[in-house]
Amino acid sequence: MSLKTHKRYVQIAFNGTARQVRRILPQIPNDSRIIIEAGTPYIKRTGMGGVQLIRRYWRGLVVADIKVTDGAALEVIFSAAAGANAATVMGSAPVETLDFFIRFCSQHGMLSMIDMLGVDNPLRKMLPMKNKPDVVVIHKGRDEETNKHNIIRYKDIAKIRSKYDAMIAVAGGLEHENVRKAYFNGADIAILNVIGADDPNAGLHENEDFRQIIPSVLSQVGY
């Protein structure tokens, strides 16, 4: 499964429980512009069985947000076996790990996504790499959302595009009313978190009507 260049996507990240996935995911229309993510906390809670659960409910693209830092080969194999079409590696990992990760993703028919959370200069990190990722994620972390001075570094998009034609995803503080801002700043993929009742972060509230919210989000995505 691949992403089409010059097409915009919205990635919906589940970070809660299997019960949350069973309740919400059937409300989300099977649209080619939607990517479903098995988020890191969700995978830590449910294991690769959680990725398999999402695959049972979703026939489109599924991302396993495993945030590889070492041992790329095995983690890619685990994700592929669970039904994921894409996986993530931390941009702060050694260059060797990034290259291994991208190579093994390609070998297993998966998209490679580099998460640049905490990386001051994403382009500089990418220059020594031998292999090119499919997606670069410009990421303001959930903990960083508490600091109003921290913003999504949209300026990094133009810098990366000056050397690479990889697709760009952005994450951090996005809500369904403002995903258009991500596309306006050059992103191809806007990542929205499904958030719980007590979660102070921005995202899609788990108790909202997703049958109404998702069409509103897609109207900003375009075709």
Domain CATH number, residue 80:
3.20.20.70
Total number of domains constituting the chain = 1
Measure the CA–CA gap between 194 and 203, rounded to whole angstroms: 6
Residue 2 falls inside a structural domain: no
For the cut 50, the answer to whether the pLDDT of residue 164 exceeds it is: yes
Condensed to tens digits (0 to 9), the pLDDT of residues 14-56 reads 999 999 999 999 999 999 999 999 999 999 999 999 999 999 9
Range of the domain at 124: 9-221
Place of tokens 């969700």: 42
4 domain residue, yes or no: no
195 - beta bridge partners?
Answer: 205
Q: What average pLDDT score do residues 113-125 get? A: 93
pLDDT at res. 149: 47
Does residue 100 lie within any of the structural domains? yes
List, in order, residues 6 or more apart from 184 with CB less than 8 Å away.
none
